[in-house]
Amino acid sequence: MKNRIKALGAVNVGAVVEYREVSERYQFLKGQIEDVEKSKAQLLELIQDLTKHMRQQFTERFAQINQNFGQIFRELFGGGAAELSFTDDSDVLTSGIEIKVHPPGKIVTHIESLSGGEKALVAISIYFAIMRVNPPPFCVLDEIEAALDDVNVARFAQYLRRMSRNSQFITITHRRGTMEGSDMLYGVTMQDQGISKLLALRTEEAAEFGT
């Protein structure tokens, strides 16, 4: 027995203290791991709730925009039908959006088959459809109707006039039809070299000058 005890070597008198320190460190790290796992579970639950809320809200807003798009498209095109749809209904938050249009008198289902002016009018319809969900206080449009013919410019101006009940529009344009539908006209002229002059004129006054 003595030989076996002697074989164990010298007794480490600090082993008890060292064990206590290691044990305390272990319990501390174990608690940290449990806290991290708990926080992870809470974050995952929060992400799931937020994703669910985002998906629901996005789907509702998309339905409103889609309905507005169909109505505005018919008004600006003078008929026809249009709709927006998801390319992947299983995950609307990452899905693409497909634009389907049927202008009056044409057998067209894809936007790439439209002319430049028609594409511009579709884009305007979508833009107004989004605006109608939550109208901003004011909006700046920079030659948005430049590619339209005179008939569509007139429809655009009429619809813009109705939209102005809820939002104020500042429109940069060279189209007569858009100018005629506005309340106020502002222009910049350069009579002398390097000297510009700002002109302001009400539409009614401009009409009197034109007659």
pLDDT tens by residue, the chain, 211 residues:
666 666 666 666 677 778 888 888 999 999 999 999 999 999 999 999 999 999 999 999 999 999 999 999 999 999 999 999 999 988 999 999 999 999 998 876 678 888 889 999 999 999 999 999 999 999 999 999 999 999 999 999 999 999 999 999 999 999 999 999 899 999 888 877 778 888 888 877 666 655 5
Domains in the chain: ranges and CATH = 51-134 (3.40.50.300), 137-211 (3.40.50.300)
Q: Supply the pLDDT for residue 7.
A: 64
Q: Supply the pLDDT for residue 10.
A: 63
pTM assigned to the model: 0.76
Query: What kind and span of H or E run contains 161?
Result: helix 150-163
Cβ neighbours of residue 117 under 8 Å, at least 6 residues apart?
Answer: 147, 148, 149, 152
**What is the 3-state secondary structure of 16-82?**
HHHHHHHHHHHHHHHHHHHHHHHHHHHHHHHHHHHHHHHHHHHHHHHHHHHHHHHHHHHHHHCCCEE
Q: Supply the pLDDT for residue 115.
A: 87
Cβ neighbours of residue 154 under 8 Å, at least 6 residues apart?
Answer: 177
Q: Supply the pLDDT for residue 20.
A: 84
Antiparallel, parallel or unpaired: β 81-86 and 97-102: antiparallel
* Cβ pair 178, 171 in contact under 8 A: yes
Q: Supply the pLDDT for residue 107.
A: 76
